[in-house]
Structure formats: C-alpha cells, structure tokens
Amino acid sequence: MNMLFHHHSIESLAFDNRFTRELPADPQTDNLRRQVHGACYSRVMPTRVAAPRLVAFSREVGELLDLTDATCLSPDFTEVFVGNKVLPGMDPMAMCYGGHQFGSWAGQLGDGRAINLGEIVNNSKERWTLQLKGAGPTPYSRRADGLAVLRSSIREFLCSEAMFHLGIPTTRALSVITTGELVERDMFYDGHPKDEPGAVVCRVSPSFLRFGNFEILAARGETALLQQLVDYTIRTDFPELGSPSPATYNKWFAEICRTTAAMIIHWMRVGFVHGVMNTDNMSILGLTIDYGPYGWLEDFSPDWTPNTTDAHGRRYSFNNQPHIGQWNLLQLANAIYPLVGRVEPLQEALTEYNEVFLNGWNLMMAGKLGFTSFEKSTDDTIIKELVEILPLIETDMTIFFRKLATLPTSLQVAATDPLPKPLLDAYYQPEQLTEKYTATMNRWLKTYLSRAQKDKGSKQERRQRMNRTNPKYVLRNYLAQLAIDKAEAGDYALVGELLDLLRNPYDEQPKKEHFAAKRPEWARNRAGCSMLSCSS
C-alpha cells in the first residue's frame, strides 16, 4: 500500500532534463537582467512566497504526470508548484528567445515571467516540461517583476484546459496557486495601478520552444548554436523526420507550417482570438501557447481583437489570424535559412500553408454546416455568403451554429417569413432584425437547407456532426470574469465549476444551460469581459 502511494507521490516524478543537458547554458548564474549571448537558457531559481493556497488543479494533467488527486491536494504539491520547494532532479531555468512584436523585431525577450522546473518522462514514456508562470524575476524580465496576478492566472488555467477539451492543440495547465502576496498592476496602462492577489500557474507541454528561440540566434549570427538547437528539436520532438540534415530541416519547416495552419483553423472554428500572435508566442509544435489578452468571439465580428494594445491597428483580429500565422512562419523561415541555404523549399512550404489552410477551412466550415464533405460548386458560395451575413447585425456565433443544427432540412423558408424561432436566441438586439436582413438570411437558409437535404447523411447524423464541430459551451469572457471576481474574494468554487463544464463542451449538459446563454448586457463594455490588456 505504502509503495503504491509512494509511486504516485510528488517525489516520484522522474526528471530527465534533456534541454539543459544537451544545450549550452548562460555562464553567468546571478539573477541580473541582461543580454544573454551564446546560450539557449539561464539557470534561475523560483522566488519563495509567503502563504500559497491551491485554487484549482486539472485532474487530467495530473494523470499525464502520473499524479493522483490525493497528491495534487497535498501541501507538498502546493509548495512545489508555487516554486517554494525545488525537488531533487529539477534544473530550473528560463529560456532565451527573441521575437517580432506587432510586426517589428524586438530583440531579446526570453522567459521574463516563466521558469521551467524541468522535464519529466511519465509511465507512458512521454516527455513533459513543467513550467511555472509568475514565479519571480529572471535575467529576461527587463523592467518587470516576473510575477503574475490571479486574474490572468485563472484565465490561462481555464482556457488551456478548455481548449484541450475542445480538441484544439494547446499547452496544458496543471494548477493555479495563489501566493498570499499582493502584486501591483496597472490593468489598463492608464496610470491607475492597484494591488492584486498574486498567483502562479503550472503549465505543461512537450516543449515550450517558440519561433523566437530560433530567431534570436539567427539575428545574432550564432549559426552554430542555431544548428545545435534545430538538431536538438528535431531529435527530441520530431524524431520521425529522420536525422538532422538540410533535407530534414526543410521537412521540419513544412511540418511546422502544416501544424500551425491546422491550429488556426481550429481557432476559427470555435471563435477563439489569441490576441497577441507575436513570433515569441508561436509554438514550434503548433500548440496554442501564451494565454494573455485572448477572447472568444461572442458577436461574430471578424475585425474584433480582445487586445487593448491592438485596438487601433487590429493586427491580431479574428480574421487576420490565418495571415499572421503565415507572416510569422516567414520570419521562422528567414531564421533557419542559413542552415538550408536554398529559398525554394522554404517558399514551397509557405505556399503549402495557404493550400492546407484553405482546404482545412472548407472542410471545417462544411462540418460546421453539417455536410459530409465539401462540394465546391455549391458550398463555396454558401460559406462565403454566411460569413458576409453574420456580421451585419450582432449575432452570437456559438449559439447561431448550435441552433442551426436544430432546423429540420425539410423546413420551408420564404424571404418574407419571420426568421425560424430557434435562431432568434442568437441575436443580441432583436430590434436590429430589419425586413431586409430577415429576407437576406431567409434566402441563405433556403439555399442551405436544400443543400443539406441533398447530403448523404441522415438527419440525425447531420445534427450530431454539427454538434461535434460547434461547441455549446466556450469560456465566454464574462464567465471567466465572474470566476475571477469570486476567486479574488477567496471563493474558488466557480473556477472548479467552469473547469468541470468545459470538460464536455459539445454535450448538452441540461443542468448547466445558463452557461450557454449569450453575453449579458452588463458585460458588454466591462473590463475583462470585452477587451483586455497584456498586463498580467
């Protein structure tokens, strides 16, 4: 009995820190802000905190690490994953990387708020890196304090897990723990700072490497180290591509183009807007990484961005995400060009990104509409028209597609009819439903339903397909904010309730209908419910 418990205890995590073992470290060991040359990371210890308290943990991520619920609820767990206790075998460090921020090269950025504790290998032989976010300053913190506040930590924790259960490639979150200390933050950068509760999130991913890890080495002309890092990445995370060589580098880049396109198609499917797609926030594994000022499209408004810093340029708006994905890949291509020496294969992969994206988009939209396949002759127009109609008046994207699945394909719709009743739930301001809009939408519905009726599948299959593609529950911005408000007052119940809700986002969950409702009017312009800053 004791043996069994020990196997799942926190001390039994098997660390195998390949990154720090195989790649060069910053020779300087004191934790001073600096430019770090000739190294991939700096060793750094988390900062101790006064009175940590567990807010929530993800059972599924615990299982990935072979940790039981009992272990995750133990005082030891809280001490380790807030950064107070460093286990034998851990080798804490912060990574060196650069990045393009809002389209401009920003030079060295690095993990200014994140500390990797180490990499474990679980019982299934999978490699997982454990990373604390908000555990104190690192050499890359520039002028910042390296800490995080509870509001941003809850948002990152809930969204990481929500995205996973939606079937979207993402880094994971093991836990969120308050520090018992206050952190000063100016939420809107408007000169009104206030003290907020501090917190630490433990993020989990096979790798936290970003495009920017490669860009910084290329920008500094550290080509030998660039090659060492690329070779390491291929051997560790892409062994199926074969041993490192220029031909393998090309295959590797093409693979990153494909996974990045696939990830962004998923974002578009559920109405997720990342908000800050800088190249240092792009994962080499095609995972959603860095949940900062993200948001969910409630009103289907293609040029919406959740990021206050981007309100003017809207570079990272919903509609721009596919284009920015490719722009970011172009920066990565420029970085690895010295190892490849030929432009053509990199150019081919970037062109293939467009094809992968377009084909994936068409298939995804056909799925959202319940078709068994994409038929170009009819569906091109059906999709294009719908995407033009939805923004005309304020329409809840999640509710619209979910309700569309309830309409029988035999429904007869005339232009002069009122809209079918189920769809009315999707409109924020029904008084905006003019005769002209109603006629336009009804004409579209008529075409759509007749196409759906010709489809091979049964009625039931159509509805099932739509309900597997169109979630009923997403982490609406106002729901996250309600959970944060309660947690800041010491009540963590809603965080747990939302985590549980979002485990099954495609299911009806009859007792939880209220979480599927459209955004309430009070949340329209409230901080945290509509726009967010990068301040966390």
Residues with a catalytic annotation lie at: 280
Tokens representing 294?
A: 């993200």
Q: What are phi and psi of 90, to 5 degrees?
A: -75, 150
Q: Which two structure tokens, joined as six digits, stand for 514?
A: 């209220």
Q: Are 528 and 480 in contact (CB under 8 A)?
A: yes
Tokens of 4: 């069994």
Residue 156 is encoded by which pair of tokens? Answer: 């990152």
Q: What is the 3-state secondary structure (H, E, C) of 452-520?
A: HHHCCCCHHHHHHHHHHHCCCCCCCHHHHHHHHHHHHCCCCHHHHHHHHHCCCCCCCCHHHHHHHCCCC
Torsions phi, psi of 106, nearest 5?
-105, 0
| Cβ neighbours, 10 Å, residue 241 | 18
DSSP characters over 230-294: HHHHHHHH-GGG-S-SHHHHHHHHHHHHHHHHHHHHHHHHHTEE-S---GGG-BTTS-B---SS-
Q: How far apart are CA 259 and CA 357, in angstroms?
A: 10
Report the run of H or E that residue 130 belongs to, with start and end: strand 127-133
Encoded amino acid at 209, one letter: L
Q: Assign residue 136 a region: left if phi > 0, alpha if psi is -120 to 50, beta otherwise? A: left
For tokens 């490719």, the residue is 326
CB 404 within 8 A of CB 367: no
How far is the first Cα of the chain from the last one, in angstroms, to the nearest whole number? 43
